[in-house]
Amino acid sequence: MNTLYSLSIFFYSILIKLAAPFNIKASQINKGRQQVFDGIKAKIKHDRPIIWVHCASLGEFEQGRPIIEAIRKQHPGYQIFLTFFSPSGYEIRKNFDLADYIFYLPADTKRNAQKLIELVRPEIVFFVKYEFWFHYISELKKKNISLYIVSSIFRENQLFFKNSLMGRWYRQMLFSFEHFFVQDEQSVELLGRLGLKNVTKAGDTRFDRVAEIARKGKNISIVEKFKGDSQLVVAGSTWKPDEELLAQYIHSHPETKFIIAPHETKKGNIERLISLLESPKICYSESTEESVIDKQVLIIDTIGLLSSIYKYADLAYIGGGFGVGIHNTLEAAIFGMPLIFGPNYLKFHEATSMVELGIAFPVSDFSSFQSILNQLLNDTEKKDLISGKCITFTRQNIGATQIVLDKVFNKH
């Protein structure tokens, strides 16, 4: 199985190189990986111990970030070596100022794993959520370097828990981890069935991240003027199917104001959204406190504002649920409001938990969307009850980061 795995990594790397001239992401990965070892040799210093934090992409970075921030505050003697698998993480966070070194993760070959670990010589390693790279994990184990996984979720249908040849091989990786910090009780139980007791239900570190964002949230005067005394729905990280759903409701309910923050803010996509909306609308980049007052829709065509905008909402719609999956629900939930999203949410633990608690509502079409939205906007008592439950839910889940650090640094 080791040989089969290594061959799959080899052929995947070849495909990345072949696709590079035609695909931006493949080109970024290929170029980034080529520069890793020379970059490390040029920059790495061993005057202080190093902690390695690895995140697949931007979403996992949001879970790893609270760990990095807490280490900086509580254990400033360590350097942070941060790696990404995906360009969507690296390209956006390559200048993150709390990490000393930021690189792509080289392909998971035995040679690359040996070389990277020899160059970096980390004392502690954190893999975030779902990262299971055989050769890196094996080399860390051989060198007795403590490896932790944080904010992870395990499900019965994962390879680890299957009795196939691949499943049994894959399962062996789990025994190389020093400790598992998981999000839920099911993960504790599943790992326990394999005889793994080095498990702590810590929760999701993203709750700590969004709580910090909310605490530092800025006031946005244009949004305050836009909302006025009207009820406001904030639709975050939307895609075309979400926007088509929203547009139907907007056109028939002029009394309700909407802020739409599309996931993609390129000019062509903003122009498409503008043409879709018949109601009075304006883009944030062109707005003033006076010009927004008589508009029904404010389109956010810049990045970095959404997390602060949610605090003005009476209700939030989270985009992505009619595609591959919903985007960040916690940024809105932290402000205590009902959430609505499309049907593809089941892979997101926090979303399923909120649905079970009755504070989030999945919709499958315009009819169900309109029904739920009308109900929530018109029934103030019900909305207030949901808001209270939402605040309780988020507050109960804050603290995962400190659980992780207390256990890790009590050992080191």
For 73-115, write each residue's pLDDT tens digit. 999 999 999 999 999 889 989 999 999 999 999 999 999 999 9
CA angle 266/267/270 to nearest 5° reads 90
Among 6-15, 113-122, 348-357, where is mean pLDDT lowest? Answer: 6-15
CA–CA distance, 139 with 120 (Å, rounded to integer): 13
Q: Determine contact, residues 237/328, Cβ cutoff 8 Å.
A: yes
Instruction: Give dist(CA 97, CA 92) in Å, integer.
Output: 12
Average pLDDT over residues 325-341: 94
pLDDT digits (tens, 9 = 90+) for 317-328: 999 999 989 999
Do 108 and 127 contact (CB within 8 A), yes or no?
Answer: no
pLDDT at 58: 87
Residue 304 has a pLDDT of 85
CATH number of 218-396: 3.40.50.2000
User: What's this model's pTM, rounded to 2 decimal places?
Assistant: 0.85
Does residue 11 have a pLDDT over 80?
no
Average pLDDT over residues 359-366: 96
Four-residue CA torsion sign, 116, 120, 123, 129: negative
Structurally, at CATH architecture level, domain 15-204+399-411 sits in: 3-Layer(aba) Sandwich (3.40)
Three-state DSSP class for residue 299:
strand
- d(CA 207, CA 109) in angstroms, rounded, equals 34
Query: Is the fold of 15-204+399-411 the same as that of 218-396?
Result: yes
One-character DSSP codes across 215-280: HHPPP-HHHHHHHTTS-EEEEEEE-HHHHHHHHHHHHH-TTSEEEEEES--SHHHHHHHHHH--S-
The answer on pLDDT for 18 being more than 90 is no
Is pLDDT at 1 greater than 90 in this prediction?
A: no
Query: Residue 290 — very low, low, confident or very high, per pLDDT cuts 50/70/90?
Result: very high
Question: What mean pLDDT comes out for the span 58-64?
Answer: 91
Mean pLDDT in residue range 234-252: 96
Higher pLDDT, 134 or 26: 134
Whether the CB-CB separation of 257 and 230 falls below 8 Å is answered with yes
In the predicted model, what is the mean pLDDT of residues 27-43? 89
With pLDDT > 70 as the criterion, what percentage of the chain qualifies? 100
Domain boundaries defined on the chain: 15-204+399-411, 218-396
Q: Where are the alpha helices (DSSP H) in 23-151?
A: 24-34, 36-43, 58-74, 87-93, 110-120, 134-142
User: Is the predicted pLDDT of residue 356 greater than 80, yes or no?
Assistant: yes
Distance CA 94, CA 96 (A): 6
Q: How sure is the predictor about 299, in pLDDT bands with cuts at 50, 70 and 90? A: very high
